[in-house]
Amino acid sequence: MKEIHDFKIIRREQLGQHYFRLVLQHGGTMQPVAPGQFVEVQVEGRPEVMLRRPISVHDVDQETGTMSLLIQIVGNGTRRLAELREGDSLNLVYPLGHGFSTDIASGSRALLVGGGAGIAPLLHLSKVLGTKGVRPTILLGGRTADLIPVRDDFEPYGTLCIATDDGSLGHKGLVISHPAFAESYNIIYTCGPTPMMKAVARSAAERGIRCEVSLENLMACGVGACLCCVTDTDQGHRCVCKDGPVFDTAKMGKWMNV
Amino acid sequence: MLAVKVHNLSLKNPVLTASGTFGYGEEFADFIDLNRLGGFVVKGTTGTHREGNPYPRMVETPSGMLNSVGLQNGGVEKFCSEVYHRIKHLDTNIIVNVSGSSIEEYCSVAEQIDALEKIPAIELNISCPNVKCGGMGFGTSPDMAAQVVEAVRKVYHKTLIVKLSPNVTSITEIAKAVEGAGADSVSLINTLLGMAIDIERRRPAMANVTGGLSGPAVKPVAVRMVWQVAHAVNIPVVGLGGISTAEDAIEFLMAGATAIEVGTANFIDPAVTVKIIDGMEQWCKNHGISDINEIIGII
């Protein structure tokens, strides 16, 4: 069930110049959050950031009632969020949307491909896959090593591979040129810049591998009411907030090939 | 204390939701008890399924937002055969926003909704700024507005609310024209036509270029128009435009609105409608008012 709740910020970490991470405590019983789901964060205090901001859930600890958000500073809303400090409260509407499907057979070969801020939801996903007996290959990409801020956190949950455009860490080049990308998999999950996700999805389609993408569109309500955040699917316009943000690319031919 | 009547429509309180901001109500069922609302107005419904405009469809602007969704909806048949059966059990007034591109389409949708027992009213949308054919075209000329209302009045027998566009020189003329054509009530304002540019990409912020402005930014314009229309017609006025608090709602009532609709504020706080209802009740208590009707149209 979705709820509106004031969380308390119990930790704030600055990760390089462009990213920060907030660890939030519910204080009571937190609603279950599936990998790939997101929250709508209230950014208070300025007319230019009246609407909530959709942020994907980075990590969840159901037992302690904590969740973390990995946020890239990109505009007015995230700049204001970056000013928050430990002890401040943050109002969330959560959990929202349709996440990654994790109902896969133990021992399946799974590849997670994240780029930039798109690596955020893959931590929670890799942990949940671990509980299903799946140890994924985790391929993270960025322009430079700075853009892969939390790579060490992934280390325990899969085989970690890194690609950077400038070669400052790992493989030099795009994620799709990394040797790990060419291996065979039962499923590929991806989140990141749209051109990257389309390239991943097209390659997966060519190789007959099931693929799920997590989209990020401009959004108002977050619950499927306003129909502002739609994406093209083979079944017409669908809300990224409610029908997504995660979509199976088998139904996304129109999106993939444009 | 808060009960009001919009023509034959009895509302337990004056708080409705604005079409296009509240889906079919279901989307908000986790956050509020829908039965507490005076009613809710469901998404604009047309004769056939519509895909709406291309993405991007919205942009945030100071104290508001522009949208250009373009009436995406599953069509009236899908509403009647599927959606209606999921929501008809609710103990509140479900009002269907009816849209179209021709008088025939408006009439056909209205006629099909007329047959639904648990839908006591429609809101005729002659003011959508985001569709090429019809929509606002009907709402910006008194003659066209009167023609479509007169035609719908012949086939629709319950409470007929007509939603007016603020994108006109004289909203009172349009209001008087639809009153003369048989409207039971008018609701106003629909969104104000606006535009925003992404200066880095050197492109309009929305695919449809222009869109409708809503949110607190439009509230003073809406209050002015509600006040003008309430003085110009003898049918009840439903006020909307940037209402986010109980105080905003009271302001609209004083300006002449019998009921109000909450729109964009639902996106910021999905439970805002119930807070507005509770706040209005508290305001009445604090001011020694036993019946909210005492303050309607006092300005």
User: What does A104-157 look like in DSSP terms, one character per residue?
Assistant: --TT--EEEEEEGGGGHHHHHHHHHHHHTT---EEEEEESSGGG-TTHHHHGGG
pLDDT of residue A159: 96
Q: Is A228 on the interface with B (CB under 8 A)?
A: yes
In angstroms, the CA B61 to CA B51 distance is 25
Q: Are residues A81 and A156 in the same domain?
A: no
User: Which residues sit opposite A12 in a β-bridge?
Assistant: A22
In angstroms, the CA A148 to CA A168 distance is 11
More confident residue, B146 or B127: B146
Q: Are residues A79 and A9 in the same domain?
A: yes
In angstroms, the CA B278 to CA B245 distance is 10
| Residue from B107, B128, B133, B284 carrying the catalytic annotation | B128
Task: Write out chain A residues lying below 8 Å of B33, CB-based.
Answer: none
Q: What percentage of chain A reaches a pLDDT higher than 90?
A: 87
Asked if the bond preceding B236 is cis, omega within 30° of 0, the reply is no
Interchain pair A2, B52: CB under 8 A: no
pLDDT of residue B37: 98
More confident residue, A71 or A257: A71
CATH code at A125?
3.40.50.80
Q: Is A194 on the interface with B (CB under 8 A)?
A: no
Residue A231: closest CA among chain B residues belongs to which residue? B55
In a domain, A89, yes or no: yes
State yes or no: is B133 an active-site residue. Answer: no
Of A2, A49, A51, the CB nearest to B31: A2
Interchain pair B52, A237: CB under 8 A: yes
Q: Is A164 on the interface with B (CB under 8 A)?
A: no
Q: Are residues A92 and A116 in the same domain?
A: no
What range defines the domain where residue A202 resides?
110-214
Residue A258 has pLDDT above 90, yes or no: no
Q: Coil, strand, or helix at residue A8?
A: strand
Q: Which residues of A29-64 are buried (b: 16+ CB within 10 A; e: fewer)?
A: ebbebbbbbbbbbbbeeeeebbbbbbbbbbbbeeee
Question: Which residues lie below 8 Å from residue B126, measured CB to CB, with a gap of 6+?
Answer: B135, B136, B138, B139, B144, B145, B148, B149, B162, B163, B164, B165, B178
ipTM of this predicted structure: 0.94
Q: Coil, strand, or helix at residue B192?
A: strand
pLDDT of residue A95: 98
pLDDT of residue B132: 67
Q: What is the mean pLDDT of residues A78-83?
A: 95
Question: Which residues lie below 8 Å from residue A251, measured CB to CB, with a gap of 6+?
Answer: A233, A234, A235
Answer whether B98's CB lies under 8 Å from B119's CB.
Answer: no
What tokens does B200 get? 């880095």
- pLDDT digit string, tens, across residues A211-235: 999 999 999 999 999 999 999 999 9
pLDDT of residue A148: 66
Residue B129 has pLDDT above 80, yes or no: no
Our count of domains for chain A comes to: 2
- pLDDT digit string, tens, across residues B265-278: 999 999 999 999 99
Interchain pair A217, B59: CB under 8 A: no
Q: Are residues A206 and A126 in the same domain?
A: yes
Considering A65, A96, A127, which residue would you say is the last residue of a domain? Answer: A96
Considering A72, A96, A120, which residue would you say is the last residue of a domain? Answer: A96
Q: How confident is the model at residue B75 (pLDDT cuts 50, 70, 90)?
A: very high
In angstroms, the CA B47 to CA B57 distance is 22
Q: pLDDT averaged over chain A?
A: 94
Q: How confident is the model at residue B64 (pLDDT cuts 50, 70, 90)?
A: very high
- pLDDT digit string, tens, across residues A143-186: 877 666 688 899 999 999 999 998 888 999 999 999 999 999 99
Amino acid at B53: N
pLDDT of residue A21: 95
Residue A197 has pLDDT above 80, yes or no: yes
Q: Which element (helix H / strand E) includes A230?
A: strand A230-233
Q: Are residues A121 and A209 in the same domain?
A: yes
Q: What is the mean pLDDT of residues B201-211?
A: 97
In a domain, A101, yes or no: no
Residue B76 has pLDDT above 70, yes or no: yes
Q: Is A82 on the interface with B (CB under 8 A)?
A: no
In a domain, A167, yes or no: yes
Q: How confident is the model at residue B128 (pLDDT cuts 50, 70, 90)?
A: confident
CATH code at A8?
2.40.30.10
Half-sphere exposure (Cβ direction) of B105: Cα atoms closer than 13 Å: 19
- pLDDT digit string, tens, across residues B214-259: 999 999 999 999 999 999 999 999 999 999 999 999 999 999 999 9
In a domain, A228, yes or no: no
Of A225, A229, A232, the CB nearest to B21: A225
pLDDT of residue A47: 75
Considering A64, A96, A128, which residue would you say is the last residue of a domain? Answer: A96
pLDDT of residue B133: 64
pLDDT of residue A180: 97
Give the CATH H-level superfamily of domain B4-52+70-194+213-295: Aldolase class I (3.20.20.70)
Answer whether A164's CB lies under 8 Å from A145's CB.
Answer: yes
